[in-house]
Structures are given as C-alpha cells and as structure tokens.
Chains A and B, each alone.
Chain A
Amino acid sequence: MLYFSKLRIVFISILSLLFILIASSNLFKFDDSFFNKKINLGLDLQGGSYLLLEIDNEPVIEQKLQNLTTTFRNFFKDKDIKLSNIKIDNQNIFFYVNEENKQKVIDIFQDENSDINPYYPRFKSHQLEIEDLGLNLKINFSRQGLINLKTSSQDQAIEIVRRRVDEVGTNEPNILKRGNSRILVELPGLDDPTRIKSLLGKTANLTFRFVTQNDEERFGVEKLEYEDGTPSVNVSKRIIISGENLLDAQPKMDTQNNQTIVSFTLDRVGAKRFGKATSTGIGKQLAIVLDGKIISAPVVRDTIASGAGQISGGFTFQSATDLALLLRSGALPAPLEIIEERTVGPDLGQDSINAGMIALTIGFLLVIVFMFVKYRFFGLITNVTLIINLFILLGVLTLFEATLTLPGIAGIILTVGMAVDANVLIFERIKEELKQEKNNILAFDGGYTKSRTAIIDANITTLLAAIILFFMGSGPVKGFAVTLGVGIFTTLFSVYFIARLFTSLYVTKNKHNGKLI
C-alpha cells in the first residue's frame, strides 16, 4: 500500500493541480473557456426570487369540452345520428342517443382510426373515454388525454411566461417546467417580485365586443362588470377582435386630454374585421374586455380602417405600460397561481456568504489545530491534504458549474469535519499495528490495508444519505446534498492518493527511526 510508481505520482500531481487551477478560476479571469467556469451562487446567496406557478387547467378542460360538444353534434349530424340532451357536468359530457344508434356511436369513439377521438398508439389509449350509462352516454378525457392537454397548455404557458419575464428585463431568468402543470421561475438579483407577480397573475385575455341592450342575441349575451366598479352592462358574446389579432401595443400619452393610453396595431385579419365592425356599428358602444372585466366601452364615432386604435381607461403610466406588455406577450392558455415564493434580498445573500465563509474558516482552523495537536507530523500531512481536498472539491463543483447554496456551504464545512475520519481510521490502525510490528513499513502497510473496509463502509453510508437527499430535496437543500456527496469522493481521493503519497515518502525515508506515529 505504500508503494507509488513515478507515473502514478505524476498523474496524481497533475490531476490535483488541474482541479486547483479550475477552482481558482472563481477568483481570476481566464481567457480559455474551459477554465473560465464559475460556481453558480444559489438564489439564497446572490439574492433573487423563486416563484413556483401552477396552471389552473380546469377552465381549459371546460372550454375544450364545450368545443367538443359542438364538434360531436356536427359530426354525428352528418351521419344522421341525432345527439340530444347534451350537457357538461363535472368534466364529463353527457348526451342521449336512441338505442339503435348507441352502439354505432360507441364504436366510432373506440375505433383506433377514429376522426373525433385521436388514438395514441404509444400509450395504447384514446384521448376520450366513452361509457354507456344506460340512459345516457358519458364521455370524458382519458388519463392520457388529460396529460396531453396539460402538457400542451404548459408548453403554451411557459412560452408566454418567458415573454413576459423577458419584457420586464431581469438578468438571466431561469424558467423551467415542473411536472406537467407547474412552471418554475427563478429570477436572480430581483429583490421585489411584486411587478412580475402581478404580470404573471393575469391571463390577459383581451376581446372587443359590442355592448347590447337586448338580452336575446344570436351569439348570447353576458353581464360583465367594469374594472373600476361602474355598474355592469350586457355585452354580446360575439368577439369582434381578440388579443390574438394584435401585432403591437405601446403605452402613449394622449396629448389632447393628457391621458395615458395604450395604442395598438392589428394584423390584417383583425384590421379588416375591426374596420367592418366600426363601420356598421357607428353610435354603438364597443366594450374592451380584459379577463372578464370591461376596461372601457367607448362609443364608435367613425370607421377605423387603419388597423390602429387605442384603449383608454384611466391608466397610470405604470398600468398602461403593464397592459401593453401583457397584450404584446399574448394571453395565457389558463390562469396561473403562485403556489410558492421565496425571495432573498441581495444584502441578506451577501451576509449569508460572509457568515458561511467565516464559519468555514473557523471550522477549518479548529479542525487543523486539533489534528496537529493530536498527530503532530501526520496531523500536518492530514491538514495539507485537507486543504488540497477543499480545493479539489471546489474544482469539481466549478467544473460542473454546480450551484452553491447556503446549506451547500454547510455541507463543505461538514466535509472538512468528516474528511479527517478516513485518515484518523488509518492512523489509529497503524498505531495498533505498531504495538506488535517493529518494522515501520510493514506496520503502515498493514494499517492502510486493514482499515480499508471500515473506511469504505463508513463513506458509503454517508454517500447513500446524500444521494437520497439529492433526489428528494429541493432548492437549497439539494446544494447541500451535492457538496456532501462530491466531498466524499474528493476526500477518498485525497486520503488514498495524496495523504498516502506524503506518508509513503516520509515513512520510506525514516523507516529506521523507531515508532513514527
């Protein structure tokens, strides 16, 4: 165990130096992209905001089912099958069909090449499930159908979230999917997420619809409230133009009456429809509806054919800016709810870094002094190894551009405390060996060999704990698992290669000097 070939010594030295060099790239700037890596600081250290959003898919499902009823009605009408009594209840569609056609309908739904019920061969499942309730037929989304629906609304939502966050212009936001109905937004450096939260909290579903007096209209009517609390009015369900028709929206100052407004331009289709509606609807009130509330309902005075218009509604400059931003970035497919928020101010982050560094330094010094007092020369070897170990650990974290969190720093300090364990096991074993064995070389060799199983067992248990923590833990705690786990490997490397090398050099030189430890 004490013999090292020249090649091996060279190899160990190069490897150690390499990691130390990589670790030092956190302090200096290197031109080379391989060396110019840095450990990422977690949000708890650099300050910033962590938001977990959940997509409320219920309205999406309701809407999809609503659309499906129309599709079904038309589809079966063509086949001369009449569906009646169609209603939606609790995410199920119920309808009645006469006995002779019932089996036909069921077969159409269960056909793998069905036109109205897509089949996913990969999951061996249809989008919709049909069930015969005797009197009625029941249709609902299958498990796979729901997953598909959620995934696609998540895909849309994450895109819109990204646009909105980018528009606000925070530095290097991190936007990730979580499961199939959640989105994680990490905003480094942002200490007040109020604005982003309010922007993400809005669906931004914009429609232009006529205010109507009569309750009966072909498309239906609904009673909508004004944003500012003015009594509600009847608004037609017929949508003239919607947010999808917008090309651009900007906040502006209306010079005539000194009001802040949002001016918008429409795409070709939108401009055409808007022009037509404004020409036929002169004198009528056109309601501008955002997320089910009327912002304003100006009276149409002129035909607007240019495809440009403006929205006024008692905006402040800030609210006009935000509305324009929301309109530019598009509507979310479903409302988002912020179900978890963690925000750390930059000064607290810096305080945490400082405290962590002080604790690391003090912990390190305490351990070093303790080891030196206990083992003298071999304590010195352990300490030098410990320092190299620390650098290698930082090097590995840098190489993988791992995220360092406050618990992560705690993990490093803990590694310092536990890293000496392997060396202690070895040294204590050597001491025991020396009680019977006069030959230093043989005693040291025996110490290394016989302590090996205990060391490996001991480290595997800690490693197992770290692995579980890595997979089950979240955010900052994950950072702890990373440093603890990586620390085990760097510790074993430094104990078995670096410390053993030093020990070997020392023992071979002083083998005749009596008991060495």
Chain B
Amino acid sequence: MSAIPWGETKLVQGNEAVALGALAAGIDFFAGYPITPSTEVAEILAREMPLIGKKWIQMEDEIASISAIIGGSLAGGRSMTATSGPGFSLMQEGLGYACMTEVPLVLVNVMRGGPSTGLPTQVAQGDVMQARWGTHGDHPAIVLAPSDVKECFDLTITAFNLAEEFRTPVILMPDEVIGHMREKLTFPKEEEVCITPPSSPDVPLEWYEHYHTSATGVSPMAHFGSGYRFHVTGLTHDTHGFPTRKVDEVISKMNRLKQKITRRLDILENNMLHEVEESKIVIFCYGSVYRSALAAQKILAKQRKKVGIFRPVTIWPFPDRTVKEMLDSKDVILVPELNQGQIIHEVERLTSDSVRVVPLHRYDGYEITPEQLVAAVLEVI
C-alpha cells in the first residue's frame, strides 16, 4: 500500500506534494503544530502515517514539535516538521540545537506575510534571512526554495537526503503560493527515487566518537538504543559529545560546523539559469517569483528584448562563486522579492559598483506579476 501514485500524473497541491515527498523519502516520524498555510502537510501525514505504522504526533506548540523531532531523529527515525512564520520563529531554539548537535531533520516553512501574525493566508518571502541567521550564534544553514509542485515533491526528498549527508537540519521553504497552488505532477517510478540511507558507525563500541573528525566534517551517527552509548548536549562539546571550554576543542567544533558546508558547496549548489550568459539584464529570483519571471521573459522576447533569469534553488548556502562569475559583468540585475529586500544584499555584496542592482519589492500579500516584471525591465533598459 502506498499513498504515492508512483509513475502516474495527477493534479497535486504543493503542500500535498511535500507530504508525499516525505513519504517517498521514508519518513518515520512527524511532529507538528497547526499553522496556516502549512497545515495540509501535517493533515495528510496524520492520515497516511498510521496506515503504514509510522509515528505522527501533534505537539503542544512549535517548540515542542521541533524538540520532538530532534529526539526522534537521535533515536533513529527520519524526522520532519512543518510550520509557517510565527511557528518558524518559535522553532529557532530547536533549530540551533539541531545545528549544534548535528542532528539530521527536515523543517518545512511555508512562508506567509509577516512580521508577527502578519498575513496568515497570503504570500511573502520574508523569512529568507531568518532561515539563514534566525537562531543565535554562528551556524550552518541549508535552505531549499521550490518553485513548482514537482519541486515540492523532489526537493523534500532532497532535503531528507542532504540532512543525512550533512548531519544537519535542512529547511524547505516554499512560499504560500507554491504551497497552495495545484498543478500537474508526474510522479517518478518508485525505483527512480534515490534515498540516502541513515548512516551508522562500523567501529567497535568503545571507539565510537559521536562527532568524529572526518575529511568531510561529517561522521556516521549512531542512534539511541543501538548499543553505542553517547552524550548529546547543546553546550559546546568535544568529539565525544561532552561539554568543553578548551580553546582548541571549541575552535575545532566551530570550524567543523562551518566547513562541513563550505567544503562541499558543489553538492549543495543548485541554480536554474535561463539565457543568463547572453543577456545584459538578468532577473535574480526564487520561489513563486521565478514563475512570473519565466512569463515575463516570454513577453519581453516577443518585443525582441532579451532578459536572463538566475534562480537559486538552494538559497543557503548562497551561490557566491557562480553569482560573481556570471553576474558581475551584467548591466542590470533586477531582484524581485516578496519582501522589503533580503536576498538583494547578497547580490549587491558579490557584484561591482558598475553593475546596477535594482530591487522590486512587493509585501502586500500578493504575488509579483509578469506585467510588473516586464514594466520593471523596460524601465531599466
């Protein structure tokens, strides 16, 4: 029995595709708290997971939800939660703990208007910087932003795989438009889906270090109850997981947390480029805005005006090198965002003064339309 219509083509909602992607990735444990516009993810999993003996629980709040999935992941379950804006803020505590203790998990944040309660049912991309820097202290961040329903499915599987691969939380951030839209989705065949199996150490019990220093910065993780007994703490710790304040051990831990991402950027980087090389004007966008950019590109092409599109699918870590290489020679980079300007600062940071980086903000709860983008491009030509 499977909830996933393998190989079939269906009309599917974005949030539904996230839930089905989680099932395809072999999710063992989901904990969550109801919040618009992410609730469908929890609802679909509440229906499907008990049918196959998987664990699902609605906790008393978002802090408890992320705490529960960290516990679940440490006990050997592939774990996920789903939330939105205010819930994402509450989850920052647990997110930082999971980064520090290097626990794989998937956090889905369907972006709605903020700050605070904001616009619960409407679209925004205001959590982009919070996803990078929301929890206190220096920490790694892997954040994926789908732009269509198919990607909601695929990137959820990717998120589970990257979480295992890097032993860190992975955040999937569809904006509300992507989470709630319905479109045609052709599911892969079951055998086409690649799942990174959970790691497990092969050393004798007494040799096990929970944070062993390896070439990649990531070592196989044992689980509670597996016979490897280890300690986990949010305090800065040594390779065995015990608290330390020794300068060399603190530096080693902090460097490894950073370098496990920076040394393998090639695995994480994922950009979609459309006519970037041959265009002097490029639209830099992500999430639902990308869909409007594709439409705008077509409209402009009919007017014999060439515009490229650069879209990071992985928004954190930011594709620094590629942006510098490909965009620093452009005349204009238009950065449309459903916020008052967040990712634009990264683009500005990586381009010379000779490049005009032009913002296009929308933060009234509605999407950026192709017409808006066309008008913005015509203005800067």
- The yes or no verdict on A and B being binding partners is no
A binding-site residues for B, Cβ under 8 Å: none
